[in-house]
A = this chain, B = another copy of it.
Amino acid sequence: MHSVFKLLLLLVVEARVCYSSFDGDTVHDDVESLRGKPLSGSPSNLVALGGSSKWKRKSIVTLALTVLTSSQAILIVWSKRAGKYEYSVTTANFLVEALKCALSLAALARIWRTEGVTEDNRLRTTLDEVSVYPIPAALYLVKNLLQYYIFAYVDAPGYQILKNLNIISTGVLYRIILKKKLSETQWAAFILLCAGCTTAQLKSNSDRVLQTPFQGWLMAIIMALLSGFAGVYTEAIIKKRPSRNINVQNFWLYVFGMVFNAVVILVQDFDAVINKGFFHGYTLITFLMILNHALSGIAVSMVMKYADNIVKVYSTSVAMLLTAVVSVFLFGFHLSLAFFLGSTVVSVSVYLHSIGKIQR
């Protein structure tokens, strides 16, 4: 009961973090407060609850990721309802990276003011430290390029189904690259997470995915491996220097994200940007989506720093289910029997993952 109460309180705090995050300036306040310093205002009551600050930080970043990911999917549905995307996706992706960079810098500026510049929070870096930072961004770039080609073999709903292979690839690469062990129960839970998420997404035409040609499966598996590898590699980079400030680590990750995305604009959308302008077709919802993606990205980094890729996968999977439930109220969606069954399996998976940890 105690832990349920704690979780509810955290959800309330989290809601505060999320609402306040929409007026730019307070965002890095919250981002910074995640660094384990006493929280200002109401959240400081949490300290009295007696949970370790590590547990608290981990829970807050996980919940932030879950809530941000769910609202991300809801924004996408909302924007689709409002009409076709008119803006260029490449410029939006670039802005997401730029905003993440700016938020990291703003958080750092605040830290420098209060703590002064130290070895751990200075922006200056060595070639040895920074040389690995472009790798995740490059991997995501290759994955995103492949995404254009896979649609020759699979339709969009089929691709959504195949994307669940990410769960398995992340688990396997997490084990191989980070050499962290999962218990037997946790492996079982991971397979269930993949099966449950896929079940929850089943539509009447999902069986078509079984007719995917060999090339389609191969590309789906390669994409899952690229995505899993990028995630696990990011965790490896961030965890390699535990005392290094996460905002500095983020800054360098996002700088390379900006560079790669700038290259994509030049290659794909140069003419459109020159003729119609960079912000052509942008609406309020576009900016909200950019803000949301930026905050989600920061939340992912935080989860990598204070938790791990496994937590990230669980968090985004639960977010997928949350999105569906919220969509029932927002858009009058109907939940299918498959969704209930899939959600049950995912819930049991979350439970098994947690009891699997104790037995380890």
Contact = CB atoms under 8 A, between A and B. Distances in A.
A198 B341 contact: yes
A218 interface: no
Given A352-B352, A359-B359, A337 B192 contact: no
B355 A185 contact: yes
* Number of identical monomers bound together in the oligomeric complex: 2
A348 B199 CA distance: 15
Given A199-B199, A338-B338, A345 B192 contact: yes
A336 interface: yes
Interface in A180-211: 184-185, 188, 191-192, 195-196, 198-199, 202, 204, 206-207, 209-210
Nearest to A161: B337
Given A202-B202, A337-B206, A341-B198, A192 B161 contact: no
A236 to B, nearest CB: 29
A27 to B, nearest CB: 39
Interface in A251-269: none
Contacts of A184: 355
Nearest to A359: B359
A28 to B, nearest CB: 41
A45 interface: no
Interface string A201-229: 01010110110000000000000000000
A355 to B, nearest CB: 6
A20 interface: no
Contacts of A344: 191, 195
A351 interface: yes
A187 to B, nearest CB: 9
Interface centre among A196, A198, A337, A351 (most CB of B within 10 A): A337
Interface string A233-277: 000000000000000000000000000000000000000000000
Given A184-B355, A202-B337, A210-B336, 16 more contacts: A185-B352, A185-B355, A188-B348, A188-B352, A188-B355, A192-B345, A192-B348, A195-B344, A196-B345, A198-B337, A199-B341, A202-B202, A202-B341, A338-B338, A345-B345, A359-B359
Interface of A: 161, 184-185, 188, 191-192, 195-196, 198-199, 202, 204, 206-207, 209-210, 336-338, 341-342, 344-345, 348, 351-352, 355, 359
